[in-house]
Amino acid sequence: MESETPLLQREELVSALQRDGLCLRHARENFKADEELVMFAVSQNGNALKFASEELKKSKAIVTAAALQHGPSMQYASKDLIEDRDFVLELCAKGASCLSGLDEKMKKDKEVVLACMSANGFQLDNADPSLQKDKEVVLRAVKSHGKALRFASEELLKDKEVVMAAVSENGDALKFASSELKNDRDVVLCAVKQSGDSLKHSSEEMRKDREVVLEAVKKSGRALSLAPAFSDDKEIVTIAVQANAKALKFASKDMKKEKDVVYSALKSECSAGEGLKFADPELQADKQLVMEAVRADGDALQFANALLRGDKDVVTEAVSTRPEALEYATDSLKIDKDVVIMAVKKAGDVLKVLPSEAQDKEVVLEALKTSGDAIKYVTEDLIADREVIKQAIISGGEKLLGAMVDSVETQQIIAEVIEEVERPATNSSGETSCLNPNDETAERRCEDESGGEQGDSKRRKVE
């Protein structure tokens, strides 16, 4: 909750205004009349104009900054500026969405409203109802913001030219068109070419029109779910899954058995691995196809046949793409040293999916080299190991380690290791070096103790 205590110092106010321009409300009166401070406030939050002095509410520069930041803040400007037609037109030309902040006279002024529609058509909602029936105004609005069609009069929702302009800018504007135009092939084609998902706003008849559906799935594979009549159309299904692999869910059983269709899904740039999820079980057991799937998305391993989740080639490929995919492998491969080492070298957090028997010291150290945070998944028998503790600290897991350990003995080891890691060491040449080359704090300390730049030139990593 904001403090009600007046901000008495200029520096204090500037700091507050950087966070929120509305803090101007808590300023002393002389600060509310300070042009520099008020400009700072309204540029951060246009509504701060409400708290400016009456004199500054007359300032065109201040009001312009406020309106450009938040159009509706125009309501707080002086009456003279709100009624200044030339000034309002100038604001609109600069892109201010200020119609809601104007008086009723301005909202009935066609030239002003047209200028506002050019800046942001969605302001049609604030225009006088008489202008929401004006075709020129509505056309200007929907060309700027297609969904402004929702504020047009019923009569204009039946006007093909207006609706075509709206769906050309935003296909989903079809939602607001009349029933007749939702069944108009030209209008619907225009809409789905802009947004495939807009097919959901069309008539049932249009969802059975092959050309319409084809255009829709080109833009959005999910549109296949809206056209069950084409779930067995190979061309349409293939195009749909290429756009979005998840579209395979809405294909017919026969299409889910088509290997080339599933391959197309796996090559999709959207949710490629999901293609295997909806494929026929027989294809989920096809090693060549599954290899392709996990190569595209390691997590696709979870949708593979159980036998293939125990296939080392398949699991290795999945883990190389996404180490965490090891979670979906069979238990036998979760303890396979080659696979496990490969996974933890890529992502230390993989430790969390490993059974305790897979967590030997070598595996844990490799995981910690990747991420100090992996310490939270280390088994109790290794958490007190000096080498494990050292690697965790070097990799940034010191805080997590400290919070996990209750044993006084282990805490003592941690303290000793921290001191060891942070203490500059002397090598055989008498030069100083930091034990932890990855620790910036220790590196700076080493530099300080070695004599600044000279120390920096001598510092080297411990092999």
Q: Look at residue 443 in the predicted model and tell me its pLDDT.
A: 47
Q: Look at residue 18 in the predicted model and tell me its pLDDT.
A: 87
Q: Look at residue 405 in the predicted model and tell me its pLDDT.
A: 77
Q: Which token pair is 240?
A: 């749909």
Q: Look at residue 88 in the predicted model and tell me its pLDDT.
A: 96
Q: Look at residue 453 in the predicted model and tell me its pLDDT.
A: 44
Give the start-to-end residue ranges of the domains of the chain. Answer: 1-83, 245-335, 361-419
Question: For residue 256, what are the contacts with CB-CB under 8 A and spacing of at least 6?
Answer: 248, 262, 278, 279, 280, 283
Number of neighbours of residue 277 by Cβ within 10 angstroms: 19
> Please, what sign has the CA dihedral across residues 119, 124, 125, 128?
positive
Could you tell me the CA-to-CA distances from 306 to 10, 52, 334, 358 in Å, in that order? Answer: 69, 69, 14, 21
Question: For residue 6, what are the contacts with CB-CB under 8 A and spacing of at least 6?
Answer: 26, 27, 28
Q: Please give the Cα distance from 72 to 83 (Å, whole number).
A: 15
DSSP 8-state class, residue 282:
H
Angle at the Cα of 88 from the Cα atoms of 85 and 91, rounded to 5 degrees: 155
Residue type, 215: E
Q: Which token pair is 378?
A: 């280390």
Residue from 317, 313, 310, 314 nearest 334 by CA: 310
Beta strands in 379-463 (DSSP E): 424-426, 432-434
Residue from 52, 47, 107 nearest 74 by CA: 47
Q: Please give the Cα distance from 363 to 353 (Å, whole number).
A: 13
Angle at the Cα of 428 from the Cα atoms of 426 and 429, rounded to 5 degrees: 90
Q: What is the mean pLDDT of each run of 10 residues along the chain (463 residues)?
A: 58 89 92 95 97 97 97 96 96 95 96 96 96 98 97 98 98 98 98 97 98 98 97 98 96 97 93 92 97 95 97 97 96 96 96 93 95 91 89 88 80 86 61 49 44 41 33
Asked if residues 99 and 127 have their Cβ atoms less than 8 Å apart, the reply is yes
Burial class from Cβ neighbours inside 10 Å (0-12, 13-18, 19+) for residue 234 reads middle
The residues facing 433 across adjacent strands are 425
Q: Look at residue 2 in the predicted model and tell me its pLDDT.
A: 46
Burial class from Cβ neighbours inside 10 Å (0-12, 13-18, 19+) for residue 37 reads buried
Reading phi first (left if > 0) and then psi (alpha if -120 to 50, else beta), residue 327 is in alpha
